[in-house]
């Protein structure tokens, strides 16, 4: 019916992944247009540490003051609702990263002091993966991580 895959069938996985547009080609197809703010390097970085570097986050430390509100299982990887909550004082930026996506960084939010540090959005996930919320507060970076399982849906036709 849609992006049904088998964990054993590579051809099907690739097919499904390309359905979501998440094969390992990265973002090479992105037309390079100059944007004042958009952090191209961070959005094209592969893997977590390269992404942290591109964001200037170095090696962020774990924090219990960050919560990731999301279901443990997503019925479809094309739309995974995630709410990122930071209880760290002076939170100025919240980013959402998906470790196993071709480019880890999905979204980044710069908050003014008036914004409650609690952002809801929806992201794509190519497969079951750790999802990390990276918070910048008072110039320092902190993270929290949660695994979200992506399951198969439909009758697989």
Partner 1 sequence: MMTFKKKTTVVLSLLAAMTAGSVLAAPPALPKDGSWGSGAGDANFDTMMQSGFQSKGIATTERLKQDPTQKLCSNPTTIYSAKNTALREKLQGENEASIKYPSNGNWLGNWKNGEKIAQSGKGLTWSDKAGEANGGNCYNCHQITKEELAYGTIGPSLYNYGKLRGNSEETIRYTWGKIFNAKATNICSLMPRAGAMGVLNEDQIRDLMALLLDPESPVNK
Partner 2 sequence: MANPMKIRATNKDGITEIKILMNHEMETGQRKDASGNLIPAWFINEVNVDLNGKSVLKAEWGPSVSKNPYMAFKVKGGKAGDKVVCTWTDNKGDKRTDEATVS
Partner 3 sequence: MRAPHIKASLFVVIALAFSVSSQAQQDSTSAGIEAYREALQDGNPADLYVDSGAEIWKKKAGPKEASLEKCDLGLGPGKVKGAYAQLPRYFKDTNKVQDLESRLLTCMEKLQGVDTTEIVKAAFSSPKKADLVALSAYISAESKGMKVKVSLAHPKERQMYDLGRRLFYYEAGPYDFACATCHGQDGKRIRLQDLPYIPSAEGAAKGWTTWPAYRVSSGQMWSMQWRINDCFRQQRFPEPIYASDVTVAISSFMAGNSNGSVMQTPGIKR
The residue ranges that bind partner 3 (CB under 8 A) are 1-3, 70-76, 78-81, 120, 122, 149, 151-157
Query: What is the Cα 73 distance to its own chain's centre?
Result: 15
- Considering Cα of 132, then 58, then 135, then 31, what sign does the dihedral take? negative
Give the pairing type, strands 73-74 and 80-86: unpaired
- Considering Cα of 99, then 101, then 102, then 105, what sign does the dihedral take? negative
CB nearer to partner 1: pick between 58 and 154: 154
CB nearer to partner 3: pick between 72 and 114: 72
Residue 12 binding result from partner 1, partner 2, partner 3, none, given CB thresholds of 5 to 8 Å by partner type: partner 1
Contacts of 80 (CB under 8 A, 6+ apart): 70, 74, 122, 123, 124, 125, 131, 148, 150
Residue 74 binding result from partner 1, partner 3, partner 2, none, given CB thresholds of 5 to 8 Å by partner type: partner 3
Task: Quote the least distance from Cβ 75 to partner 2, whole Å.
Answer: 13
Residue 72 binding result from partner 1, partner 3, partner 2, none, given CB thresholds of 5 to 8 Å by partner type: partner 3
Residue 7 binding result from partner 1, partner 3, partner 2, none, given CB thresholds of 5 to 8 Å by partner type: partner 1
């Amino acid at each position: 019916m849609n992006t049904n895959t088998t964990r054993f069938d590579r051809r099907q996985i690739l097919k499904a992944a390309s359905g979501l547009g998440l094969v390992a080609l990265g973002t090479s197809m992105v037309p390079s247009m100059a944007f004042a703010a958009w952090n191209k390097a961070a959005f094209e970085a592969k893997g977590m540490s390269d992404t942290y570097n591109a964001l200037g986050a170095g090696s962020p430390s774990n924090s219990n003051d960050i919560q990731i509100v999301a279901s443990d299982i997503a019925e479809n990887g094309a739309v995974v609702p995630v709410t990122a909550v930071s209880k760290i004082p002076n939170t100025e930026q919240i980013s959402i990263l998906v470790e196993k996506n071709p480019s880890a960084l999905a979204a980044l939010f710069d908050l003014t002091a008036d914004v409650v540090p609690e952002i809801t959005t929806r992201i794509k996930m190519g497969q079951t993966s750790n999802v990390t919320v990276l918070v910048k507060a008072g110039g320092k970076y902190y993270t929290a991580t949660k695994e979200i399982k992506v399951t198969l849906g439909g009758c697989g036709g």
